Amino acid sequence: MRVSGSNGRVLPARPGDPRKVGPFRIIGRLGAGGMGTVHAGLGPQGVRVAVKVIHPAQAEDPEFRARFRREVTLSSRVVGPCLIPLLAADTETEAPWLATEYAPGPTLNQHLAIHGPLTGGSLYAFAAGTAQALAAIHRAGVVHRDVKPQNVILTPVGPRVLDFGIAHAADGTSVTRTGVMTGTPGWISPEHYRTGTAGPAGDMFAWGAIVAYAATGRLPFGTAAPDVVAYRVMSEAPDLAGLPQPLGELVEKALAKHPDERPSAHEAAEQCTGLLAGQTTQVLPVPTAAGMEPTLVGGLIEAEWHMPTLDDPAWQVRRPSSRKRAVVTAIAIGSVVGGVAGGALAFPSSHGSTDKSTAARSTMPASPGRTPSTGSGSGTNTTPAGRTDAPPTPRSVKDALASVPDPAYTRSEDETQPVPGEWAASSRAETPQETAAAQEIRDLARTMLATKGWQQSIPDITFNSEAQTIVVTAGPVPQIPEDHQDLFRRIGEMAACTVASRHLKEQPATWPYGRFSVYWLYGKQANDESVLGFGDAADGCSREIAGKWLGDESGLATAGIPSSDKAEIRVADSTVKALHAAWDARAGEMSLPPLGTGTVKLGFDPVEHAMYVWADEDGYGPLGGRAQQSHLTDVVEKTGCGKLLAEADTNSGWRYDRYVVALYWGNEGEKQILDSGSCRKG
């Protein structure tokens, strides 16, 4: 049963369909199957979800309900690129259900029937994305067992692998009917036909088959009766004519008759990422796919993925007129390991308030379509990207607080760090002001995260009125790698500070939240959190000394994560070329050596709106002397800034108007900031 049907379009609801499932309002159908119905739903904050509701007859079958519990358990374990995350579920209610993010777009089958085979960069992006999805599944100790074209959705931002209805753990534990063949003919591996074995290698056989199908529009083992297809799978070579090399060689290995001869999903993902990198110009050079983190693949995929953005009017339903706050219903956490004890499950970032410490509250991503900028100065207003009609507030936060006799925020001079319990004591937005601020912070964070391919990793925003603190959290199943916690910290701090400072300046007598804390959640229990950072909006949201903005190593590390934003990739490519040309134009008269290919690298920090330009040096290369370094900073300030400002003239969503020049020294990777500043003088 798919969570997206009819090309992802919402079909009308039918008599008897529920009006609400859990916290989700049902607006129509997405599909149906033998196990149940997939409904189109809206979360309290407008997020689009697909809600799978099991048929009553199936729910009455203890064996089926056990399998459904298993599906929920396994799906909650799997997080990674090109997968559709599980948001919430209730396996014990009369009509069990689970909710995932909505994936707009046709299945691979539907796309091929209308548009024909995938070609060029889109084909390599498809191969890389689906391999990365399977790698994430296998890393979690899960085997999909039903990889087929109907279970791959081609969304506007990349392929998505879905449906764990017959997935099982890689250790062999599962709940299935004895003697029943699982899988779909044509996508079943030879060993599964012979012995019933269904391991990760079987998923890779199916992966090779769907990549061949995507590239040619032909089934690699043809069409015929199931027993004929089974014979071909076990005994004959696949039809791979027309696949580009070397992708065809990799697919041929994946379709090997013996499972030990097939590449792992991780190996296939690495090779496909290398092939994909060759199709597009990257912000950072990618000499080899080996060692690339799985999350970086998303940027490569989006750069070469060409699918139309879908806009289904059925989603644009008018909200019912009500003065009630849109608050997510608390969902009691139940055990999903070794049998569910009861209740619903919420898997994204969530935690309990003081009066309901055992509750889990789903994090709902911000409403689509809003792309506010991430204004970083203390006097910057939060307005949609590109808008200039909102004049800046002509005073600092401290001036605003001093202008009223009894400001609501009273901790502007308090340097106390967050104390244990502040996170657990926070609660969701309860006033219109808090609701609007939470939405703004999520929007800002999503805008910044999207440039690194992590637009689905929206933080949870809660408020601690006693501590006068906005709490920003990620987890307990974050889609950002733990080694990039610093990036999440910086984004959380900037988003919360920007919004809090604006509210403090505009409403000093009524807005009480001036402090902010950023947490990383490791689990769903109390004390499973770690404080990543905190601050005070009254101190400003940007680092400046004597009026000069400064870059730092955190910004350099953020810029080092490859971008998934097409405009950033395009500007980076043209800017690096322009920097080389500008260097060479004066190198002769200054007796400077030429810059070698790949010496200069460029990336973007969406937190501080800065372009970082850096080079790896051993102390004796073309940038080893002061004259060379001075020339580089001059070239970046003049030529690089020119590129940034030229893009801003034609691209209303362009946010970058700062620059940093840095060097990496020696084998230890020592860092040195040579220069930084604003491209907008005066």
What's the sign of the alpha-carbon dihedral 122, 127, 128, 129? positive
Angle, alpha carbons 534-538-541 (nearest 5°): 65
Distance CA 552, CA 492 (A): 17
Query: Is there a catalytic annotation at residue 552?
Result: no
Pairing of strands 515-521, 469-474: parallel
Give the CA distances from residue 121 to residues 303, 435, 545, in Å, rounded to whole numbers and listed in that order. 9, 41, 45
Q: Which of 17, 61, 146, 539 is catalytic?
A: 146
> In Å, how far are 420, 473, 549, 659 from 519, measured between CA atoms?
12, 5, 27, 29
Question: Cα–Cα distance between 584 and 578 in angstroms, integer?
Answer: 10
* 134 touches 265 (CB < 8 A): yes
Helices and strands (DSSP H and E) totals, the chain: 17, 23
Contact yes or no for 118/214 (Cβ under 8 A) = yes
What span, in angstroms and rounded, lies between the C-alpha atoms of 418 and 561?
Answer: 29
**Angle (nearest 5°) at CA 13 between 10 and 18:** 120
Checking DSSP bridges between strand 610-617 and strand 658-665, what pairing results, if any?
parallel
Helix locations, 451-508, DSSP H: 485-506
Say if residue 246 is preceded by a cis peptide, omega within 30 of 0.
Answer: yes
Beta-bridge partner residues of 25: 20, 42
Closest CA to 649 of 392, 383, 448, 386: 386
Report yes or no: 342 and 72 within 8 Å, Cβ to Cβ: no
Q: How far apart are CA 134 and CA 81, in angstroms?
A: 9
DSSP state for residue 372 in the 8-state scheme: B
Contact 272, 296 (CB under 8 A): no
Query: Which residue matches tokens 């889990």?
Result: 360
| Residues contacting residue 200 through CB under 8 Å, at least 6 positions apart | 134, 138, 143, 170, 264, 265
Indicate the SS3 state at residue 429.
coil
Strands, E assignment, 449-587: 460-464, 469-474, 515-521, 529-536, 544-545, 548-549
The residues, any chain, with a CB within 8 Å of residue 193's CB and separated by 6 or more, are 230, 233, 234
Residues annotated catalytic, as ranges: 146
